[in-house]
Amino acid sequence: MKKVIFKGAGVAIVTPMNDDFSVNYDKLGEIIDNQIANGTDAIVIAGTTGEASTFTDQEHVDVIRYAVEKTAGRVPVVAGAGSNDTSYAIWLSKEAAQAGADALLHVTPYYNKTSQMGLIRHFNAIADATDVPVILYNVPTRTGVNIKPDTYFELSKHPNIVATKEANSDIAAMIRTKALCGDELGFYSGNDDWIVPSLAVGGLGVISVLSNVMPRETHDICELFFKGDVAASAKLQTKLVGLIDALFIDVNPIPVKEAMNLMGMNVGPARMPLVELSDAHRAALKAQLEKAGLIK
């Protein structure tokens, strides 16, 4: 069986920004401490929700290093290091490894894309480059590339490829992949609205946007399931579905940063080309935050 990086809810953490759009490290530190205090099982830094696509090379490495130092071994740190350029992904993986990341998150190549054979070669080359475990990230709505079950099977043969963040919303494909890979590939839900279904077919947990605003509850959805109280887990998942939908009412992480700002967390704006919510979307988000008791 491959190494399990974490079980439960890993937060796909936002990157707080100052008014000039520079990284607000003091606020990031506060958020990391708050997440850990409220049961988050892993910090997933420099991912989509963290706006890593807007980072300079130096910012990307600095943000990872800061998260590792601030977390100080309390929970694992998973560092986003993906790229559509294999050589750059290898370079960034080595930098993240040197910064102390416990695992690397690697998205499928976007824009230029590739074939299934290209995915196998791309991810194997990355996994060969360091000793840090690799979590794949399959999100075809953003990248235009989907990892198929047979491809997952081939990738699971690499000793350093340990899991995937699956966000293609295809439970049938996940079941087929699980049947092929067994314990050689772990699964994390990449979607907050199907945490329980993914756990039901053998998932290890979720890499979550929801955790930014409700870390304890997201952790509890997983923990209740693992303890055998599936009904309570499903009830909590169902209770939060309106808020989950609202957090994706616009392009992630626009809504979740707005939600955190409304909650008084002061995480600042998203970097362009992402812009603020429309008035209608803000009102809908605010209504769900009020319903969840997060604001008055």
Residues with catalytic function:
137, 165
Return the exposure string of 8-28: e unless at least 16 CB atoms fall within 10 Å of the residue's CB, then b: bbbbbbbbbbeeeeebbbebb
Q: Which two tokens stand for residue 63?
A: 């943000």
* CB atoms closer than 10 angstroms to residue 112: 10
Q: What is the dihedral of CA 109, 87, 190, 216, to 10 degrees?
A: -150
Phi and psi of 91, rounded to 5°?
Answer: -60, -45
Cα separations (Å) of 114 from 118, 143, 161, 228?
5, 10, 19, 41
C-alpha torsion sign, points 107, 109, 115, 121: negative
